[in-house]
Structure 1
Amino acid sequence: MTAYDTNNIFAKILRGEFPCHKVYEDEHVLAFLDIMPRVPGHTLVIPKAPARNILDIKPDDYAHVARGAHKIAAAAMKAFNADGITVQQFNEPAGGQVVFHLHMHVMPRHDGVAMLPPASRKEDVKVLEENATKLIAALKAG
């Protein structure tokens, strides 16, 4: 398997070298909005530990990511008045992985509304800011 690349975009976000619309952070994970969302509120949850994907992450570090995704899913249901949640995690190119730092996609869903194709359009910054504010408020409300 290919080694972890410390210059991937998510590693740069973790180091503060690249901006993001952060919605949650603790000592183990960072959650931020996808700038090319498939649905409003599409959030990425990543470990702070360097891990290419599920094949090389330590089980405890993966558990932190799962807990972070769980927290974001509950908040997204409230923040976006969602009917459901889609959680996705891809591994290696054949599995659909594009950025090689493990990440979970958490996407609030509404009945009858299809997701956009992956990476189909970049969202307006104002919309991302509004969605981040909604998610942060829902996280604080518990």
Structure 2
Amino acid sequence: MAFAYDDTNIFARILRGEIPCNTVAENDHALAFRDIAPKAPVHVLVIPKGKYVSFDDFAANASDAEIAGFHRLCAQVVRAEGLGLDGGNAGFRAITNAGPHGVQEVPHYHLHIMGGRVMGPMVFLRD
């Protein structure tokens, strides 16, 4: 099942400047901003500026420059927020969700960078 990109999603509207965000960092290919409902002391979303629905869509279809720019911005955010492992920092979690089973809320590829505390188990398994 393929999902078409929806130009009305909130991240597309943020990229067009229709909705404000608390920008953390930006480059030619990606934008990083604070989550409006943070789940950790540091919770930053990084989104590509291109129209990609999910990680697999981005990885398969983005240009090399877009992929490199996105990941370099993620690294910049990790350092700027004091989450990197260099200098004795305790680390962070980077997570993305895709589709209904992944509980993706916004149909625009995005990576959550979360830290500032122990994040707990990766997944709670149910019977």
Whichever residue aligns with residue 76 of structure 2, its letter is K
3-state DSSP of counterpart to 1:24: strand
Q: Which residue matches 1:66?
A: 71
Q: Which residue of 1 aligns with 2:100?
A: 93
Alpha-carbon deviation of 1:109? Answer: 2.9
User: What residue is the counterpart of 1:46 in the other structure?
Assistant: 47
- The whole-number CA distance in structure 1 between the counterparts of 2:115 and 2:89 is 6
Q: How many angstroms does 1:37 deviate by?
A: 0.3
Distance 1:82 1:44 in 2: 20
* CA distance in 1: counterparts of 2:3 and 2:13, whole angstroms: 19
- Structure 1 unaligned blocks of 5 or more: 116-142
Answer 1 or 2: which has greater helix percent: 1
Asked if the contact 2:27–2:69 (Cα under 8 Å) also holds between the matched residues in 1, the reply is no
Structure 2: runs of 5+ lacking an equivalent: 122-127
Match of 2:125 in 1: none
CA contact (8 A) 1:77 1:108 kept: no
Identical positions, percent: 39
Greater shift, 48-57 or 7-16, is seen at 48-57
Tell me the alpha carbon deviations over residues 100-132 of structure 1, each in whole angstroms, 9 at most, x when there is no partner: 100000112324x759xxxxxxxxxxxxxxxxx
Task: Return the offset for 1:95.
Answer: 1.6
- The ranges of structure 1 where at least 4 consecutive aligned residues each deviate by more than 6 angstroms after the TM superposition are none
1:7 equivalent in alignment to 2:14: no
Give the number of aligned pairs: 112
User: What is the TM-score when the length of structure 2 is the normalising length?
Assistant: 0.78
The match for 1:33 is 34
3-state secondary structure, aligned to 1:66: helix
Q: Is the 8 A contact 1:54 1:62 kept in 2?
A: no
For residue 73 of structure 2, what is the amino acid of its counterpart? G
Alignment of 1:97-108 (within 5 A): 97-108=104-115
User: What is the rounded CA distance, in whole Å, between the counterparts of 2:47 and 2:54 in structure 1?
Assistant: 10
Residues 41, 117 of structure 2: 8 Å contact kept: no
Q: Distance in 1 between matches of 2:104 and 2:89?
A: 26
